Amino acid sequence: MNRHARAAGWLSALFMGLGQLYNRQYVKGLVMILAHAAIIYTTVVKLPSYLKGLITLGDKGVHLEKVGKMSKLVPGDHSIFMLIHGVLAGIALLVFIFIYVLNIRDAVTIGRRREQGASLRPLQNGLFPWMLLALPIIGVLVFTVMPIVFTSLIAFTNYSSPNHIPAKNLVDWVGFDTFHKLFTLGVWSNTFVGVMTWTFIWAITATVTCYFGGILVALLINQEGIKFKGFWRLLFVLPYAIPQFVSLLIMKNLLNEKFGPINKYFEAFGLQGLPWLNDPFWAKVSVIVVNMWIGVPVSMILVMGILTTIPKDLYEAADVDGASGWMKFRNITLPYILFATAPLLITQFAGNINNFNVIYLLTGGGPATIAYNNAGKTDLLVTWLYKLTLDFNQYNIAASISILLFLFIAALSITMFVRTRSFKEEDMIQ
């Protein structure tokens, strides 16, 4: 019964396109045969050396070679090129296998349709979504997936300045050495632990201050009897509307120790100015306060939105029962806000862990300290890895920090994802 399907399937498995020819789809079959020929050619000629390169990462650096009587400097293997080519070759291989499977499947379906005497024309819109998606898929593969793969690979090499930078030197696989260094080796682990501790302290403080600050400001505006609510809100939203890098750079000037207006005002009152950005303790205070200035408006907007969704009948019922204003606030407003914004806390926490702008633009991670390797007292893990990449070329360390951060953020996001689902199904308030 399924004679055609089986024959076409086997033929296609033997050589791409044969099944299609058997199904009398001549053009498609020919194209596929040519494609298969091309695939065989590349797999045999190119792929093995690329894949081998991925494993060895090159075995000759820049070296002297005898050319006639003279010794000449010859460029050696470029490990990073070899790594990239290797990864691309791996991806290509997977794509080939995928196409191969598709080809067999296609032959079988068409064969089956022949047996049933159905039309051989493919469905009209079968290709259109893929046409739409071609560009997005390439974009995501090259600029999102590829960098992630590349980062994960670099973390297991010794790609770093000064001794392992191609094309002058080779890069090698070193297994978990980088992570080992980060966790146990003297200065590196000191820096890592120090920076990580501050990252967490910062993320928790920044999240909590902005969150409760926002709730307070929103409640302040929303009180009964306050006039011009729209005006206040517009005024307070202003910091949020100014581009972050602009307001942060302005703040950096405001807090300037010698000439900044804030210290000048202090002096006008006979107080001594504070080293806002130059002392480890005050720098930490400054970044948290400035972050509030930027972050409170966001929470405020959210909470004000939620306040309008609280059903009025709850308050009316409370009035009937003779509840005081404080009791209404305590038992209706507050639980409602906390409940509705709880998932937000996690998002903001995750955002603050990676809050690059506030730290980098305000303090640049400083004040510097000799206890740390290439990091300052207010550096977060992200700003540290940024500096390691751009200024110090410590790519392997930067890569391993990226991976650790990513694992942490992913765990957070997944928990939140799962949580909010169960959260929705509970519908406790309504």
Partner 1 sequence: MKPRLLISYILLAFIGVMSLYPALWTVLSSFRVGNSLFSDHFIPQTWTLDHYRDLFRARADRYIPYAHWYWNTLQVATLSMVIGTLIQLLTAYAFSRFRFRGRKAMMMAIMVLGMFPGFLSIMAIFVLLNTFNLLDTKWALIIVYSAGSALGMFVAKGFFDTIPRSLEEAAKIDGASEMTIFMRIILPLSRPIITYISLMTFTGAWVDFIFARAILRSPEQWTLAVGLWNLVDSYNSTEFTLFAAGCVLVAIPITSLYMYTQRFLVSGLTAGASKG
Of residues 295 through 354, those in contact with partner 1 by CB under 8 A are 297-298, 301-302, 304-306, 309, 340-341, 343-344, 354
Nearer to partner 1, 228 or 281 (CB): 228
Provide the mask over 11-30, with x wherever binding to partner 1 is found by CB under 8 A and - wherever it is not.
--------------------
Contact 174, 156 (CB under 8 A): yes
How far apart CA 377 and CA 18 sit, in angstroms, is 67
Site stretch for partner 1 (CB under 8 A), options 40-48, 61-69, 88-96, 235-243: 235-243
Among the listed residues 15, 173, 183, 293, the single contact to partner 1 using CB under 8 A:
293
CB of 380 to partner 1, least distance (A): 12
Site for partner 1 (CB under 8 A): how many residues? 95
236 binds partner 1 (CB under 8 A): yes
Assigned token pair, 351: 């955002």
Per-residue interface string for the shown chain with partner 1, residues 355-394, x marking contact by CB under 8 A: -xx--xx--x-----------------x--xx-xxx----
Q: How far is the CB of 159 from partner 1 (least distance, A)?
A: 8
CB nearer to partner 1: pick between 117 and 259:
259
Pick 84 or 323: Cβ nearer partner 1: 84
Q: Which of 10, 179, 232, 282 binds partner 1 (CB under 8 A)?
A: 232
Please, what is the end-to-end C-alpha distance for the chain in angstroms? 59
- For 94-119, letters b (16+ CB in 10 Å) and e give eebeeebeebbebbbebbbbbeeeee
Candidates 16-24, 45-53, 59-67, 417-425 — which segment interacts with partner 1 by CB under 8 A? Answer: 417-425
Q: Binding partner 1 by CB under 8 A: which of 95, 101, 118, 226?
A: 226
Q: Supply the minimum distance, in Å, between the C-beta of residue 265 and partner 1.
A: 9
The answer to whether 420 contacts partner 1 (rule: CB under 8 A) is yes
When binding is defined by CB under 8 A, the residue of 19, 111, 260, 365 that contacts partner 1 is: 260
CB atoms within 10 A of CB 250: 11
Token pair of 368 as six digits: 């510097």
Residue carrying the six token digits 């009180």:
223
d(CA 331, CA 107): 67
Q: Closer to partner 1 at the Cβ: 149 or 314?
A: 149
Specify which residues 173 forms β-bridges with. Answer: 157
Q: Nearest approach, Cβ of 309 to partner 1 (angstroms)?
A: 8
Of these, 241, 320, 370, 428, which contacts partner 1 (CB under 8 A)?
241
Q: Which of 252, 283, 287, 352 binds partner 1 (CB under 8 A)?
A: 252
Query: Which one of residues 27, 69, 116, 126 is an interface residue with partner 1 (CB under 8 A)?
Result: 126
Quote the CA–CA distance of 270 and 295 in Å, as a whole number: 32
Supply the minimum distance, in Å, between the C-beta of residue 71 and partner 1: 28
How far apart CA 13 and CA 7 sit, in angstroms, is 10
Helices (H), 146-185: 146-154, 177-184
Residue reference for tokens 């890592």: 192
From the number of C-beta atoms within 10 Å of its C-beta (0-12, 13-18, 19+), residue 300 rates as buried
82 lines the binding site for partner 1 (CB under 8 A)? no
Minimum CB distance to partner 1, residue 40 (Å): 26
Structure tokens at 55: 């494993």
CA atoms within 13 Å, Cβ hemisphere of 72? 7
198 or 386: CB nearest partner 1: 386
Q: Closest approach of Cβ 3 to partner 1, in Å?
A: 26
Q: List the interface residues with partner 1, window 131-190 (CB under 8 A).
A: 132-133, 135-137, 139-140, 142-148, 150-151, 154
- Contact between 250 and partner 1 (CB under 8 A)? yes
Q: Taking a C-beta distance cutoff of 8 angstroms, is the pair 406, 385 a contact?
A: no
* 3-state secondary structure labels for all residues of 12-71: HHHCCCHHHHHCCCHHHHHHHHHHHHHHHHHHHHCHHHHHHHHHHCCCCCCEEEEECCEE
